[in-house]
């Protein structure tokens, strides 16, 4: 047993349950895992405890008398911290899964669920992310000395601080690398690593999105040209902002860059999100049709996250459908997410498109999606996005490892990196 000093320094956990017996059982497991538990038997008691201090983890019973755990989840999400949340309930698994998805949607980034009656081993596993990790600190964004401005971004473009990083796309049946997606990155000597969620909107608002996109296209096409001599089927995908889907010069700009390297148009894929495509359908159709006529592939990214997916597929000339990582991530443990992924693969094939799954993080998911007939995958299970030199080297090592594992049935084991 930890002494009083150890207990005082232990990470705090709030146990919220209207059943004192259940609360005592959960608290006991928490103590054995090195936490310092506080018990709240009602919604209001939990609100008071959350207001009075920080907790690294919170367990929540969905049924709290006249209130419910959903209200508490929203309160936690609005509090500015990111504790791990363990949702515990006797509700059926679909309700639990939907609750976790709702928690993620409102900003609780680390949420899991357990069904009553509680399996103590499963509860222990849910708590073992590390009482000393302090998830509230782990998820805190980097602080900048001052806001990034359009002038900073313009200067970064001029001095070569922005560049594409390439994430591999792997044929799930063979394990071979068939291409990559180019993701914009900015390493600033002033601000450090600036996230795309910061500089992409800034580029769109300031009119710098076109020079940034042309930079991405040029360097991506150069990489694809290098791989074309090794594998003529290799392709690179580049994202196109909604701000450029009304720029009718884009098809000519793309053609000029392709002609400059001699890369066939089929080796380039332009990715657009479904919400982007629906912003101005007539203009988007104009640009995408002209790109397709030239031979460039068009991918619908983040499929299923908008509200007009089937309408978009029926109207637009897509050649590839990307299943969003939010569906792929939990598809082996969430029956609803598995259905979304299965239907998305089937829809892609009905429209004669390649089905691409984003967010594959382990060999089990790779194996399952391959069995489902999904064509291509990408995600951390293969590799994060890499700068050009590192990407080329990764591809070389991947091919060597893949060759060494032999039969196709063994290739999934090469996924862990």
- Residue 145 placed within a domain: no
Residues 185 and 76 in one domain: no
Residue 6: count of CB within 10 angstroms of its CB: 11
Task: List CB contacts of 357: < 8 A, sequence separation 6 or more.
Answer: 172, 322, 323, 328, 341, 369, 374, 376, 377, 378, 379
Residues 183 and 127 in one domain: no
Residues 181 and 258 in one domain: yes
Looking at residue 109, its pLDDT comes to 66
Looking at residue 10, its pLDDT comes to 73
Residues 193 and 340 in one domain: yes
- Residue 2 placed within a domain: no
Looking at residue 13, its pLDDT comes to 92
- Residue 130 placed within a domain: yes
- Residue 95 placed within a domain: yes
Task: List CB contacts of 257: < 8 A, sequence separation 6 or more.
Answer: 214, 217, 218, 221
State the total domains in the chain.
2
- Choose among 79, 78, 85, 82: nearest CA to 62: 85
Q: What are the CA-CA distances from residue 78 to residues 43, 52, 70, 72, 106 (Å)?
A: 16, 15, 13, 10, 8
94-144 pLDDT tens trace:
788 888 878 877 777 688 888 888 888 888 888 875 433 433 333 333 444
Residues 321 and 350 in one domain: yes
Task: List CB contacts of 72: < 8 A, sequence separation 6 or more.
Answer: 16, 43, 46, 47, 60, 64
Q: Which of 138, 164, 191 is the last residue of a domain?
A: 138
- Could you tell me if 368 and 332 are in contact, meaning their C-beta atoms sit under 8 angstroms apart? yes
CATH code of the domain containing 312: 3.20.20.450
- Residue 312 placed within a domain: yes
Looking at residue 350, its pLDDT comes to 93
Looking at residue 240, its pLDDT comes to 94
- Residue 197 placed within a domain: yes
CATH code of the domain containing 98: 3.40.50.2300
Residues 322 and 262 in one domain: yes
- Residue 336 placed within a domain: yes
Residues 340 and 228 in one domain: yes
- Residue 3 placed within a domain: no
Q: What is the mean pLDDT of the chain?
A: 85
Q: Which of 93, 110, 138 is the last residue of a domain?
A: 138
End-to-end CA distance of the chain: 38
Residues 179 and 134 in one domain: no
Stated pTM of the model = 0.71
Looking at residue 278, its pLDDT comes to 64
How far is 288 from 278, CA to CA, in rounded Å?
12
Q: Which of 138, 167, 182 is the last residue of a domain?
A: 138
Residues 206 and 156 in one domain: yes
E runs forming strands in 293-350? 297-303, 320-323
Looking at residue 128, its pLDDT comes to 73
Looking at residue 176, its pLDDT comes to 94
Residues 239 and 107 in one domain: no
Looking at residue 83, its pLDDT comes to 83
Looking at residue 130, its pLDDT comes to 43
Residues 96 and 185 in one domain: no
Any idea what DSSP says for residue 238? E
Q: Which domain holds residue 231?
A: 150-415
Please identify every stretch of the chain with a pLDDT value under 70, giving residue numbers as ranges: 1-9, 79-81, 109, 129-145, 274-280, 304-309, 311, 405-417
Tell me, rounded to whole angstroms, the distance of Cα 178 from its chain centroid. 21
Residues 125 and 212 in one domain: no
Residue 60, judged by CB atoms within 10 A of its CB (0-12, 13-18, 19+), counts as buried
């Amino acid at each position: 047993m930890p002494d009083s000093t150890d207990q005082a320094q232990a990470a705090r956990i709030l146990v919220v349950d209207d059943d004192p017996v259940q609360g005592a059982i959960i608290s006991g497991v928490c103590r054995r895992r090195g936490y310092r538990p506080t018990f709240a038997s009602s919604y209001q008691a939990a609100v008071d405890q959350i207001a009075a201090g920080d907790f690294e983890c919170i367990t929540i019973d969905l049924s709290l008398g006249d209130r419910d755990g959903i209200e508490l989840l929203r309160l936690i999400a609005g509090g500015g911290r990111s504790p791990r949340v363990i949702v515990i309930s006797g509700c059926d698994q679909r309700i639990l899964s939907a609750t976790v998805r709702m928690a993620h949607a409102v900003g609780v980034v680390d949420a899991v669920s357990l069904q009553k009656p509680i399996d103590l081993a499963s509860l222990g596993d849910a708590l073992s992310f590390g009482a000393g990790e302090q998830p509230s600190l782990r998820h805190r964004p980097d602080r900048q000395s001052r806001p990034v401005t359009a002038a900073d971004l313009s200067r970064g473009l001029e001095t070569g601080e922005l560049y594409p990083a390439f994430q591999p796309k792997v044929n799930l049946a063979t394990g071979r690398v068939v291409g990559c997606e180019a993701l914009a990155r900015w390493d600033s000597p002033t601000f450090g690593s600036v996230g795309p969620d910061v500089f992409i909107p800034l580029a769109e608002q300031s009119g710098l999105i076109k020079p940034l996109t042309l930079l991405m296209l040029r360097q991506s096409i150069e990489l694809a040209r290098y791989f074309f001599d090794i594998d003529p089927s290799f392709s690179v995908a580049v994202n196109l902002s909604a701000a450029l889907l009304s720029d009718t010069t884009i098809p000519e700009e793309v053609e000029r860059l392709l002609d400059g390297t001699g890369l066939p148009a089929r080796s380039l894929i332009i990715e657009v999100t479904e919400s982007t495509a629906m912003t101005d359908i007539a203009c988007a159709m104009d640009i995408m049709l002209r790109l397709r006529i030239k031979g460039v592939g068009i991918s619908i990214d983040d499929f299923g996250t908008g509200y007009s997916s089937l309408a978009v597929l029926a109207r637009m000339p897509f050649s590839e459908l990307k299943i969003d990582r939010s569906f792929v991530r939990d598809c082996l443990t969430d029956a609803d997410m598995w259905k979304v992924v299965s239907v998305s693969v089937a829809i892609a094939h009905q429209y004669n498109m390649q089905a691409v799954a984003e967010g594959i993080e382990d060999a089990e998911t790779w194996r399952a999606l391959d069995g489902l007939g999904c064509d291509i995958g990408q995600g951390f299970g293969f590799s994060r996005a890499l700068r050009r030199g590192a990407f080329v080297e990764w591809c070389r090592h991947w091919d060597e490892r893949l060759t060494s594992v032999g039969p196709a049935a063994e290739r999934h084991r090469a996924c862990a990196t």
